[in-house]
Structure 1
Amino acid sequence: MTEITPEQHLRERLSAHLEVLYPHLEKAALLEDIIALMALDQRCFMPEAHKNLWDESDTLVITYGDSILREGEWPLHTLHDFLRRELRGLISGVHILPFYPYSSDDGFSVINYVEVNPSLGDWKDINAIARDFDLMADLVINHCSSRSLWFENFKQRRDPGMDYFVEVDPETDLSEVIRPRTSPLLNEVQTLDGKRHVWCTFSHDQVDLNFQNPTVLLEFVKIIRYYLDMGVKIFRLDAVAFLWKIPGTTSLNLEQTHEVVRLVRSLIEHAIPEAIIITETNIPLRENLAYFGNANEAHLVYNFSLPPLLINTMVSGSCKALKTWMMGMPAAQDGTTYFNFIASHDGIGLRPAEGLLEDAEINQLVTLMQKSGGRVSWRALANGENRPYEINISLFDAMRRHLYSSNENDGEDGFQEQRFICAHALMLAVQGVPAFYIHSLLATENDENRVLHTSHNRSINRHQWVADDLESQLSTDSHHARIFNILKALITLRSTQAAFHPNAAQYPLHLGDKVFGIRRESHSTGAAIVAVYNISAEPQEILLSDLNLDESVSWQDILIDGADIRSQHSILLAPYDYRWLRRGDAVGVQN
């Protein structure tokens, strides 16, 4: 029997993808164009199914290219200097949020996909960072800027661009369309052929691309190849759930959208087997998990339900919803895992909490965040009502108040730092790859001045540090330095524990609503860790008998002194305290 070659394997997969996407088109030439544009006719690898491209040593930082500024220096150079000095050997990868020329939305309205924003630096700066860290970059695939060459050509009725956008008759019934904005879906545009109405899911400056035109697909194949050549290892498919539009449907998570993700996966893993796809799909849990496919779509999906549930846990003093959700979470099969985070450049998405938190709980959380300086972004429902879509607040200020503190202190109880650190210690222990937004790693506060300057709610958590000020804060006994050093120590410790492999088994424990517990166990080494967290403002005692620890082996408290705890009857946790207990006989675990 003749063994199939990598290129034959690729051709079979591409043929299947194209048949779903373009059933009525002649596909032979299109297939050849895709292979040539990806240079897969020159070099093509056979991907290994269900291979984990990560382990417990992987942690990412999420940042804008200009989150740290130094006068007279390109921001990407300043960022690279900070990463090398403070985080080399600690984090494995860095997600630089869109670093291309843009017209709005802090980068997500791309003018040119293959240029670096000249205010940040150039491709040499991106290449330098990619040599030191796994580089994650955005493939802003759903839409582009209204100031892009493509859209200018659309208005001038010439190529490339004339047929690149979704045009709809304004009389068309689009009431079923789901989107996270309250602005009109269609934007009227004057062209050389008269008025046209183009589809804009997010804003009128972000015009949705028409993937029903295969030429648009070819444009993105070229972009993907270019990013790979520039050192990108991890592709974040931004807003991909909205990609394919069919009037009369929700135009969300359509089968063709999933097929495009599968096609992109086929291309990158045949080009560079270590490359990774992560889908940014801020939607309810079941729909989000669908982007794993059968381990043939995203390698990682954003764990969007984790931020609102974990923040609600910390400020409410009850882990009931978090525990219930985690008990129902499917284990990620090998070759896939979760991308865990608590805060991002956007905000705390609330759609992924729907069905997991009661409406009253969500409203209570929104009100508390507003008391701590947070803003609320809204989405329009089909019935004309608006519903909270996202809370915009820095994570540090989100932990300022507790829901059930006395009215005398308006919810501020002095445990802000403890809540903040406990939340991250919990995130580090759950199944998946952890990621820290740079302003969470640095415990940055709300930036009210930036909101006033931009008039955008999301700017509240997009502070720009002056490098000298940041270095000064990190060299003193500021809350920034205290938290940064504790988080770095936790990341370092986690990276040595096989039980924290992103695909290690995960078992939530039943310790009441005020103590969250989880057991992680490595399939390959047998290493086990029991992690427990007091998520309340009162001390909590945990009986060792309730942890179901194997009594025949030692259990070491690796966060305190590494001593065996078997002689103890119980563990006393101060407010927002936590412990990582490691089974002493685990194979391959460092002692």
Structure 2
Amino acid sequence: MSQSLESRLVAMLEVVYPALDCEFLADQLLDAMGLDPEAEPPPAHQNNWSQADVVLITYADTVQRPDEKPLVTLKRFLDDCLRESVTAVHILPFFPYSSDDGFAVMDYLAVNESHGSWEDIEAIARDYKLMADLVINHMSARSRWFENFRKRVGPGKDYFVEGNPKDDLSQVVRPRTSPLLNPVQTEDGERYVWCTFSEDQVDLNFANPEVLIEFAGIIRYYLERGVKIFRLDAVAFLWKEPGTPCIHLQQTHELIKILRLLIEHHTADAVVITETNVPNRENLTYFGNANEAHAIYNFSLPPLLINTLVTGNCRHLKTWLMGMPPAQMGTTYLNFIASHDGIGMRPTDGLLDEDEKQRLINTLESFGGKVSYRRTADGRDQPYELNIALWDALKGTAEGGADHWQLQRFLCAHTIMLALEGIPAFYIHSLLATGNDLDRVEHTGRLRSINRSQWQLERLEATLADPLSHHSKVYRELKRLIAIRRAQPAFHPNATQFTLHLGLQLFGFWRQSLRREQSIFCIHNISAEVQQVALSDINLISTDQWTDLLSGQPIEDLSGTITLKPYQCLWLGVRPPI
């Protein structure tokens, strides 16, 4: 007989809060979530996704229309342009905020009035799987909770992490160069608060179980308004202990297990995704034993894939892919190449050497990119991320500079992403091939603004209708590729994947569907030179009728060779039975 929800919850809580009455705390959490202590668990190892799933990542106000709330405009754009292409929409923080384009939340239970209302959010959630951020590590210094912290009253008095400049903080891992501890005046005098990201983003104190109870109520509120996918923002930093790195601590992993347990008992097909921009081996730990994240961001993919395409050499990408463990059933990878943030450099640790990293940095800087830094424990500033629009990141090569293969290179990158094990996620500016927005950087003073442009809907529609614009060419071809992907069982996020060995200029892998009714050989020329592949090297079964699913061209001679133009891709497969 399986353990009850309550007993499982108590066991997890005892790891995090060994000195507290965890049975009482469990009752409070279950009450906050509206859950029956004896509730039956959802089926184990259940895949809440299929090959049809494609995610769009966007801000609420990326697409705008005069005299219309941006969330209404976003729904209009989704319905008119992407209804047949995307199944899930990640709307980046749509709450009232004070900085960081939404990630300094002032009120978790409100929708930013300038964006729209909860009714607008619910309208999107009715037609698409809605992914929302749970900005769980920190909150705005202008929030009501933090004002109460200053006043030393509740709720908020003990909701934020306090530090002492005399504490041993030498091991703390930082994603920024700003001060970790910031002094604030309170009714009890000066206090130092912990700020992992910025002075305006004060870290929440999960050592106080009242904070966990508050978030249980917030999660329930989101679920009741249609949120199906929870992105746990910056969750790796959640638990703080001076004298440690304050990242990936055991309490953090247990808290993720607790949140998942509560979420999936409330809504069986809800999904938890951890956002942990860290080296690959560290990132993989957030699967737990299929009891933490349902999905993790594949953070090493963007820098490795971009490096592959600007160097014309897939050695590191291939080595990484061979070392990636298949995700257990009920878990998967979220594949992306670009996002609202920059291209993380920490996920390349152990994958690229320092000279290779610097070459990538130099190349993308020559294409208009910028570099953001973090401060290491020994006080050195190290590159943390590259800030550049993906369209411009792929405008040329490391050796030759900008060239005329930008469109083909850009489409090759997305063709690879669409075929890999996992769920593909498109940042809206990649789907639209938006370039560097240097004017926005100058206006905001923030490097990440380079990839956070805004479109007026009328201009966007005209641009996408213009067959000569590169935006239109990318948009139409990516929609075509998505449609092909969604019809292939071999592209199920958990379908089998093996790496092919076809040299350093051809990046290939094999996918086989869960029921073994379809295989697809995915072969991509990642260089600016013509390449040939001998079909005998792929070992196609001679009794099957093979077709390049991308072009529709049948493969007649299995003993012959295929010539691939620069950045051309092949998906050699047998069409699935109808």
Question: Normalised by the shorter chain, which TM-score bucket?
Answer: over 0.9
Which residue number in structure 2 is paired with residue 508 of structure 1? Answer: 499
* Contact 1:243-1:252 within 8 A present in 2 as well: yes
* Contact 1:45-1:272 within 8 A present in 2 as well: no
CA distance in 1, matches of 2:443, 2:358: 28
* Deviation (angstroms), 1:44: 4.0
Deviation per CA, 1:282-322: give whole Å up to 9, x if none: 00111100000000000000000000000001111000000
Residue identity matched to 1:482 = K
Question: Counterpart of 2:554 in 1: which secondary structure?
Answer: coil
CA distance in 2, matches of 1:422, 1:568: 26
| 1:180 counterpart (155, 175, 183) | 175
- Alignment pair present for 1:421 and 2:421: no
Which residue number in structure 2 is paired with residue 166 of structure 1? Answer: 161
Deviation per CA, 1:155-199: give whole Å up to 9, x if none: 001000000111111111101000110111000001011000000
| 1:439 counterpart (429, 432, 440) | 429
CA distance in 2, matches of 1:566, 1:296: 47
CA distance in 2, matches of 1:209, 1:558: 50
Greater CA deviation, 189-198 or 556-565? 556-565
CA distance in 2, matches of 1:244, 1:122: 33
CA distance in 2, matches of 1:333, 1:143: 31
* Deviation (angstroms), 1:45: 4.5
* Contact 1:101-1:111 within 8 A present in 2 as well: yes
Which residue number in structure 1 is paired with residue 194 of structure 2? Answer: 199
Which residue number in structure 2 is paired with residue 354 of structure 1? Answer: 349
Which residue number in structure 1 is paired with residue 531 of structure 2? Answer: 540
| 1:31 counterpart (11, 26, 33) | 26
Deviation per CA, 1:383-431: give whole Å up to 9, x if none: 22111100000000001121121xxxxx111001110000000000110
Residue identity matched to 1:469 = R
Gaps of 5+ in 1: 406-410
Which residue number in structure 1 is paired with residue 466 of structure 2? Answer: 476
Q: How does 1:104-503 map to 2 (within 5 A)?
A: 104-405=99-400, 411-477=401-467, 478-503=469-494
Greater CA deviation, 14-23 or 34-43? 34-43
Which residue number in structure 1 is paired with residue 60 of structure 2? Answer: 65
CA distance in 1, matches of 2:207, 2:557: 63
- Alignment pair present for 1:10 and 2:5: yes
Deviation per CA, 1:114-142: give whole Å up to 9, x if none: 00000000000000000010000000000
Question: Counterpart of 1:150 in 2: which secondary structure?
Answer: helix
CA distance in 2, matches of 1:183, 1:149: 24
* Deviation (angstroms), 1:555: 1.4
Number of equivalent positions: 577
Residue identity matched to 2:535 = L
Q: 1:246 to 1:72 in 2, by over 3 A?
A: same
CA distance in 2, matches of 1:253, 1:67: 33
CA distance in 2, matches of 1:287, 1:49: 24
- Alignment pair present for 1:563 and 2:554: yes
CA distance in 2, matches of 1:565, 1:212: 65
Which residue number in structure 2 is paired with residue 408 of structure 1? Answer: none
Question: Counterpart of 2:133 in 1: which secondary structure?
Answer: strand
Please report the TM-score for the alignment, with normalisation by the length of structure 2. Answer: 0.98
* Contact 1:94-1:136 within 8 A present in 2 as well: yes
* Contact 2:170-2:378 within 8 A present in 1 as well: no
Question: Counterpart of 2:498 in 1: which secondary structure?
Answer: strand
* Contact 2:4-2:40 within 8 A present in 1 as well: no
CA distance in 1, matches of 2:154, 2:421: 47
* Contact 1:379-1:386 within 8 A present in 2 as well: yes
* Deviation (angstroms), 1:227: 0.3
Question: Counterpart of 1:445 in 2: which secondary structure?
Answer: coil
CA distance in 2, matches of 1:523, 1:321: 28
Deviation per CA, 1:94-114: give whole Å up to 9, x if none: 000000000000000000000
Q: 1:590 to 1:488 in 2, by over 3 A?
A: farther
* Deviation (angstroms), 1:47: 1.1
* Contact 2:4-2:38 within 8 A present in 1 as well: no
* Contact 1:448-1:460 within 8 A present in 2 as well: yes
* Contact 1:176-1:250 within 8 A present in 2 as well: yes
Deviation per CA, 1:567-586: give whole Å up to 9, x if none: 561110000000100036xx
Deviation per CA, 1:308-345: give whole Å up to 9, x if none: 00000111100000000000100001000000000000
Percent identity, aligned pairs only, is 57
Please report the TM-score for the alignment, with normalisation by the length of structure 1. Answer: 0.96
CA distance in 2, matches of 1:44, 1:479: 53
Greater CA deviation, 544-553 or 298-307? 544-553
| 2:79 counterpart (81, 84, 91) | 84
Question: Counterpart of 1:125 in 2: which secondary structure?
Answer: helix
* Contact 1:429-1:500 within 8 A present in 2 as well: yes
* Deviation (angstroms), 1:30: 1.3
Which residue number in structure 1 is paired with residue 17 of structure 2? Answer: 22
Question: Counterpart of 1:61 in 2: which secondary structure?
Answer: strand
* Contact 2:502-2:508 within 8 A present in 1 as well: yes
* Contact 2:6-2:38 within 8 A present in 1 as well: no
- Alignment pair present for 1:520 and 2:515: no
* Deviation (angstroms), 1:551: 2.3
Question: Counterpart of 2:185 in 1: which secondary structure?
Answer: strand
Residue identity matched to 1:142 = N
Q: Following TM superposition, where does structure 1 have runs of at least 4 consecutive aligned residues deviating by more than 6 angstroms?
A: none
* Deviation (angstroms), 1:553: 2.0
The CA RMSD over aligned residues, in Å, is 1.2
* Contact 1:505-1:522 within 8 A present in 2 as well: yes
Question: Counterpart of 2:566 in 1: which secondary structure?
Answer: coil
* Deviation (angstroms), 1:42: 9.1
CA distance in 1, matches of 2:466, 2:60: 25
CA distance in 2, matches of 1:88, 1:44: 36
| 2:571 counterpart (570, 575, 580) | 580
Question: Counterpart of 1:378 in 2: which secondary structure?
Answer: strand
* Contact 1:522-1:528 within 8 A present in 2 as well: yes
Residue identity matched to 2:92 = L
* Contact 2:492-2:514 within 8 A present in 1 as well: no
Residue identity matched to 2:489 = A
* Contact 1:43-1:271 within 8 A present in 2 as well: no
* Contact 1:45-1:273 within 8 A present in 2 as well: no
* Contact 1:372-1:397 within 8 A present in 2 as well: yes
* Contact 1:557-1:565 within 8 A present in 2 as well: no
Residue identity matched to 2:568 = D
Residue identity matched to 1:243 = L
CA distance in 2, matches of 1:208, 1:345: 22
CA distance in 2, matches of 1:188, 1:575: 56
Gaps of 5+ in 2: none
CA distance in 2, matches of 1:28, 1:18: 9
CA distance in 2, matches of 1:240, 1:560: 42
